[in-house]
A and B are shown apart, each in its own frame.
Chain A
Amino acid sequence: MSTVTSTSASSRRIGEQIRYWLPAVVVFGLGIAAWQWLLPDVLGVEEFLLPRFSDVVQALVDERDKLLRGAWITFKEAFGGFVLGSGAAIVAALVLARWRPFGNALMPYMIAANAIPIIAFAPITNAWFGLLSPWSKVTIAAVLCFFPVLVNTLRGLTSVDPESIELMRSYAAPEREVFRRVRIPSSLPYVFSALKVASVLAMIGAVVGDYFGGSLDALGIVVLSAVNLSQYSTSWAAILVASIMGIAFYGAIALVERYALSWHPSVGRRGQ
């Protein structure tokens, strides 16, 4: 008897899931249909704005070597920048959390620095490292990641509830122990949230950084040269590849987060 009820319960759950996701799937289908027929045929959207879906897919297949090579180069730039920028930011956050008066004084400046258009510095990093060097894009990606990760990690390290600190005080715990046992574990949700944002920023830094000039094979250059040659399908295919990479990078971090934060009450419900 229990097996009968459990299968009907689980099939009900599956039914619920389907009903929940159905609108999104429908929208996806409608979107593709619109892309393929509505926009070009009915609305007369020109090819240079948005080529037909099938054309983009065709370009994806035809140019896959170039696109894959470009994706790999761009990914290396993005990932390198991500690791450098986030790493430096976490270290800086630990330091500023240790000497909180500095952290407090500098916080507004870090938030302001986050508002600087870093990408505009791409020509300068090109002057530093050379147009074709990946390091100029890595630097842009790293700086883009640095401030958001710093601000959020610092917030995480210092958003500890005061009674937790009082408890540690009652144990006569030195600052080092307070960090290890309280501040760092409780900052992890903030850190992962910041890392997810940083992954997107690093990708933007790498791809758009290439718009200022870069190695001929990088994805950004593929987009630009395709646009210049009016090969719009190829340029959209490259954007698609960049988007998929972005989602995959973000998803990888979300996966690590799920594992690292398995203890967190909201891990099941996280929909970031």
Chain B
Amino acid sequence: MAFRRFAKRGLVFVLVLGGLWAFWEGYKWLWERTGWSRPFRVDDLTLPHVHTILLQLGEPTSTGDDLWLFLLRAALFTAKSAAVGFAFGAIVGFLLGVVLVQFDVLRRGVMPYVVASQTIPILALAPIVVRGLGSVSIGGEPPPDWVRVSVIASYLTFFPVTMNTIRGLRSADPRALELMHSYAARGWTVLWKLRVPSALPYIFTALKIAATASVVGAIIGEQTASIPNGLGGAILNFNQYYVLAPASLWATNLYAALLGIGFFLVVLAVEKGVVHRAPERLV
């Protein structure tokens, strides 16, 4: 029974990938045949074949590694910045959320700005932050590259996690709170046994968004500060030589996509283990 469901999911996966491939190649074939220039002109430069991109992974790069390995190292560099930033931002965000819920006055003072942070393009600050940190000295030296980049991932994670922690902690059912009071439960117990578990679904919603945002922030941060080691740097690099080898840039984007999805899936997996939600079904 479980195998059948697995096989069905596998079939859908194959069909979706196959469908995307067919759509890509079909679009390319049709646009090249007719020569349409809207929305953009299609040729091997603007839309290489899927197999060209995949084959490019086997080609050597200037560093000596083949492309697939080069990109893997870059992805790991970016992943490190993103993950550290994500973890830091999540923990600080959660703690701040807990503090703000305990002290209502502070919460009322700070909350509007946390909410406002959701409506402004904080990612736009990336170049300023990363460049600026490059000129700061901590213990005589500027912080290492990946740390500067992880700062961006941190603050992109921090705001949504704080907001959702607060919302989640305050979402506890009043009747459940009354029950706690009837057990003469004190602050800490109520917090850990009731409020935090009630808050977990909200927190994970924020974490899922933040997972992607951290990867995006890391990539943008690397680019705007011209840090060569990560995927951001690879994108800049291959963009410069796009005319010579367009497939390399596409391959880099493939890795970036997989990294983003990967982060998301990790958080999703943790969520499945921690939060017990009914599976989503469309009625």
Chain A residues close to B by CB (< 8 Å): 20-21, 23-24, 26-28, 31, 46, 48-50, 97, 100, 103-107, 109, 112, 114-117, 119-121, 123-124, 127-129, 135, 139, 154-155, 158-160, 162, 165, 199-200, 203-204, 207-208, 211-212, 220, 223-224, 227, 232, 235-236, 239, 242-243, 246-247, 250, 271
Complexed CA–CA distance, A243 and B128 (Å): 15
On chain B, the residues within 8 Å of A106 by CB distance are: 16
- Point out the residues of chain A lying under 8 angstroms from B131, CB to CB: 48, 227
**Do B126 and A235 touch (CB < 8 A)?**
no
Complexed CA–CA distance, A235 and B260 (Å): 29
Of B59-67, B172-180, B213-221, the one with at least 4 CB within 8 A of chain A? B213-221
Interface status of B140 (Cβ within 8 A of chain A): no
- Set A23, A114, A123, A236: member contacting B128, Cβ < 8 A: A236
Q: B211 touches which one: A115, A124, A159, A203 (CB < 8 A)?
A: A115
Could you mark each residue 258-283 of chain B with 1 if its beta carbon is under 8 Å from any beta carbon of chain A, else 0?
A: 01110111000000000000001111
* B219 CB contacts on chain A under 8 angstroms: 117, 119-120
The interface of chain B, by Cβ under 8 A from chain A, is 12, 16, 39-40, 45-46, 105-106, 108-113, 115-116, 118-121, 123-128, 131-133, 135-136, 208, 211-212, 215-216, 219-220, 223-224, 231-232, 235-236, 239, 242, 246, 249-250, 252-253, 256-257, 259-261, 263-265, 280-283
Please measure, in the bound complex, the distance between the C-alpha atom of A247 and the C-alpha atom of B117, giving whole angstroms: 9
A20: chain B residues at CB < 8 Å are: 108
Inter-subunit contact A127/B46 (CB<8 Å): yes
B127:A227 contact, CB within 8 angstroms: yes
Complex contacts, B280 vs chain A, CB 8 Å: 107, 155
21 contacts between A and B (CB under 8 A): A21-B108, A24-B108, A24-B109, A46-B136, A49-B128, A49-B136, A100-B282, A105-B16, A107-B280, A114-B264, A115-B261, A115-B264, A117-B219, A119-B219, A128-B40, A155-B282, A165-B283, A200-B120, A204-B123, A208-B123, A212-B223
CB-based contact A246/B283 at 8 Å: no
What distance in Å separates the Cβ of A271 from its nearest Cβ neighbour in chain B?
8
C-alpha gap A127/B231 in the complex (Å)? 19
A120 touches B135 (CB 8 A): no
**Separation in Å of the A17 CB from the closest CB of chain B?**
12
A220 to B133, CA, bound (A): 20
Assess the A97–B124 pair: CB atoms within 8 A: no
Contacts of B256 in A (CB 8 A): 116-117, 120
A117 near B257: Cβ-Cβ < 8 Å: yes
What is the CA–CA distance of A159 and B259 in the complex, to the nearest angstrom? 31
Chain A proximity of B116: nearest CB distance (Å): 7
A138: nearest chain-B partner, CB-CB: B39
Q: Distance in Å from the Cβ of B169 to the closest Cβ of chain A?
A: 15
A223 CB contacts on chain B under 8 angstroms: 124, 127-128
Q: Is B116 touching A117 in the complex (CB atoms < 8 A)? A: no
User: What B residues does A128 contact at CB under 8 A?
Assistant: 39-40, 46
Given contact pairs A208-B220, A247-B119, a sample of 10 additional A-B residue pairs in the complex whose CB atoms are under 8 Å apart: A26-B109, A48-B135, A119-B216, A120-B231, A127-B46, A127-B242, A200-B119, A208-B124, A227-B127, A239-B128
Q: A24 to B112, Cβ gap below 8 A?
A: yes
Q: When chains A and B are docked, how far (Å) is the Cα of A50 from the Cα of B219?
A: 23
With both chains docked as a complex, state the minimum distance between the C-beta of A33 and any C-beta of chain B, in angstroms: 14
Residues from chain B with Cβ under 8 Å of A27 in the complex: 109-110, 113
Q: Find B119's partner among A46, A127, A158, A250 (CB 8 Å cutoff).
A: A250
With A104-B281, A116-B261, A160-B283 known to touch, is A48 a contact of B132 (CB < 8 Å)? yes
